[in-house]
Amino acid sequence: KQEVTQIPAALSVPEGENLVLNCSFTDSAIYNLQWFRQDPGKGLTSLLLIQSSQREQTSGRLNASLDKSSGRSTLYIAASQPGDSATYLCAVMDSSYKLIFGSGTRLLVRP
């Protein structure tokens, strides 16, 4: 059974810092890996999608990497801003298009 773990569970940083969020998964037979952002009481915003054959994806200040063989992904956020404060969720998709989510990292960027 696929299990997705995210570390750290919570993170508080001053504005401007670069930071890394970690995600690991137990079964490397994934279709893709996705990173989402969730604001309190809201739905999900898709940030990045990495295909199983890809190593990384970039969007603006965000960069996500994938090492499928070791079951790891990282989300790198450059020059963090208070508006980046949210919960970041990592999820892996299996061949039936089901997404299995990690428990998330709650990020607070202090002004």
105 secondary structure, DSSP code: E
Site string for another protein, 8-47 (x = CB under 8 A): -----------------------xx---x----xxxx-x-
Rounded CA separation 28/52 (Å): 9
Among 11, 13, 19, 49, binds another protein (CB under 8 A): 49
Minimum gap (Å) between residue 53 Cβ and another protein: 13
Strand stretches in 53-95, DSSP E: 56-59, 62-67, 72-77, 86-93
Asked if 86 contacts 77 with a C-beta cutoff of 8 angstroms, the reply is no
Query: Residues in the site for another protein, rule: CB under 8 A?
Result: 4, 31-32, 36, 41-44, 46, 49, 89, 91, 93, 96-104, 106
